[in-house]
Amino acid sequence: MKLYIDSANIESISWLNEYYPIAGVTTNPSILVKEEKPYLEVLKEIRSIIGNDKELFVQALGDKAEEILDEARFITNELSGNLIVKVPVTEEGIKAIKLLTAENIPSLATTVYTAFQALIAAKSGAKYVAPYVNRIDNLSGNGGLVVKEISELFTAYGLSCEILAASFKNLQQVHDVCLAGAEAVTVAPDIIESMVAFPSTASDVVDFKRQWVNAFGENRTNL
């Protein structure tokens, strides 16, 4: 499972990149707007934190395929390193994914709500598809089931496109899609931190330390 940070917050990204096995950072227009800073400045800062090898995802806004392609060329020139262009799975988006693939610009098909959208995007050359798990759940759908169906279709048709599941509101949803076959997940900082934090672990650590100090004082094991 590859783990991505779904945020453009510089402090959170620095912290999580230092402590967690992070594969990259995903952004979208709403995420970048939240930072209230020029978006290119933010993206360049993220790049300097994560380095050139980790993937940075930036979403195109154009309505027409050719506009999306222009944006992709622009952002690829502006930002160094491993960049993936996010393209919504509209009809124009699918055409754009085909054009990007022809230019060897890697893409992620985003705003995926159905397994068939994912299938068409993968057939068009998308490197990743991003099913919107929580938004599907909010529509009385089942985000985990959509991920499972996409995974089964990709296996059945021998497609190398990876599922990068997105839009989570809790850790249970992340857990479910990992079991359903997602190769990758992009998760907000607070949910990433909840992957490790557990009250029993914290109290066990306190107990071990207390017992050791009672027996041997403050001396460490010097391992």
Q: What are the residue numbers of the active site?
A: 86
Interface residue with ligand E4P, options 49, 135, 145, 189 (CB under 6 A): 135
146 near ligand E4P, judged by CB under 6 A: no
How far apart are the C-alpha atoms of 150 and 146, rounded to whole Å?
Answer: 6
1-40: contacts with ligand E4P (CB under 6 A): 6, 26, 28
CB neighbour class for 210 (10 Å; exposed up to 12, middle 13-18, buried from 19): exposed
Check binding of 107 to ligand E4P (CB under 6 A). no
Q: What's the min distance (Å) between Cβ of 56 and ligand E4P? A: 11
CA 60 – CA 127 distance, rounded (Å): 15
Number of residues engaging ligand E4P in binding (CB under 6 A) = 11
Residue appearing with tokens 């590859």? 2
Based on CB atoms, which residue is closest to ligand E4P, 132 or 154?
A: 132
134 touches ligand E4P (CB under 6 A)? yes
Residue from the set 107, 117, 151, 167 that interacts with ligand E4P by CB under 6 A? 167
Give the C-alpha separation, 56 to 6, whole Å. Answer: 10
Site of interaction with ligand E4P (CB under 6 A): 6, 26, 28, 110, 130, 132, 134-135, 166-167, 186
